[in-house]
Structure 1
Amino acid sequence: MALVKAGVVVLDCAEPEILAEFYKELLGAEETAVAANRVEIRGADGFRMAFRRDVNATPPSWPRPENSLQAHLNFVVDDLDEAERGVVGLGGRPLETKDAPGPYEERSFSDPAGHSFTLLRNASAAPKQG
């Protein structure tokens, strides 16, 4: 038996309404709760995120070491190029990082409030040909 039930990922930011809109579009989500200092959304697959107002929020500086990684999200996509165009069109910014080791191709971005996230190409279960 689990000690806790799955919760919600909460990001602090200066403008929760704006950041919620970014992630609503990115995830095809809907708003489920809105309060003076918090907006919560839920994606079609049940994934939940909330955005809490913190007027003193400082964006993470990742990949630079000062004020580095505060939270990091990974999203799986089928087409990295298409997903990147969508992220940038919504106001996300690409982050320059070294190529990550491992079997997955990935690209890192920051949302409009500066939180970092990574798009990971959905790895095919089929063996590589050639």
Structure 2
Amino acid sequence: MGKSGFPRLLHPTVDAVNVRDVAVFYGELLGLNYDADVADGEPQWVELVDSTGAVRLAVQRVDSLTQTTWPSPDVPMQLHLEFIVDSRDELSRHVERACALGAIVLMDRSDERDEQVFVLADPAGHPFCLLSRV
């Protein structure tokens, strides 16, 4: 536990049927590194680390995964990641990058005045937000 007596978040973990694809997607999207062995075979667990070696995200294998239907309430999001960038230009650039890496846009609220938000789904269908507050 932390000095405050409260637990600290270690890292989020994303379930995936295809761990390699999801790890590569988030590694490329966020500039994180992962074990080179990810390219070979299908691992059960992958940790994505930053330049200091701190684990920022993990991906674990599951046999099946019901993809969210959000914004339809049939299968809710349950959990999602939110990433913030510093400008509208960066937001557009990162949304384009995410789509080039295999994401799809679920919602575009980039026309909002105070907070521009794109809700996307990664290649395994996990929703995540890219946003800018300018």
TM-score of the superposition, structure 2-length normalised? 0.79
Match of 2:99 among 74, 82, 88: 88
Q: For 1:36 and 1:26, how far apart are their aligned partners in 2?
A: 20
Q: For 2:26 and 2:45, how far apart are their aligned partners in 1?
A: 14
Is this contact kept in 2: 1:63–1:97, CA < 8 A? no
Aligned residues: CA RMSD: 2.6
Task: Tell me: CA distance 1:88–1:99, structure 2 relative to 1, closer, same or farther (3 Å).
Answer: closer
Alignment of 1:27-46 (within 5 A): 27-31=30-34, 36-44=43-51, 46=54
Is this contact kept in 2: 1:22–1:91, CA < 8 A? yes
Deviation at 1:60, TM superposition (A): 1.5
Q: For 2:57 and 2:128, how far apart are their aligned partners in 1?
A: 13
Q: For 1:99 and 1:84, how far apart are their aligned partners in 2?
A: 11
Q: For 1:87 and 1:97, how far apart are their aligned partners in 2?
A: 14
Deviation at 1:62, TM superposition (A): 1.2
1:51 aligned onto 2:54:
no
Deviation at 1:70, TM superposition (A): 2.0
AA in 2 matched with 1:43? D
Gapped regions of structure 1 (runs ≥ 5): 125-130
Per-residue Cα deviation, 1:23-76 (whole angstroms, up to 9, x for no partner): 000000011597941111023474611111111111111111011112111111
SS in 2 for 1:87: helix
Q: For 1:114 and 1:67, how far apart are their aligned partners in 2?
A: 12
AA in 1 matched with 2:122? D
Is this contact kept in 1: 2:91–2:131, CA < 8 A? yes
Alignment of 1:1-130 (within 5 A): 1-31=4-34, 36-44=43-51, 46=54, 48-77=56-85, 78=87, 79-96=90-107, 103-121=114-132, 123-124=133-134
Q: For 1:47 and 1:105, how far apart are their aligned partners in 2?
A: 28
Task: Tell me: CA distance 1:82–1:57, structure 2 relative to 1, closer, same or farther (3 Å).
Answer: same
AA in 1 matched with 2:83? F
Count, aligned residues: 123
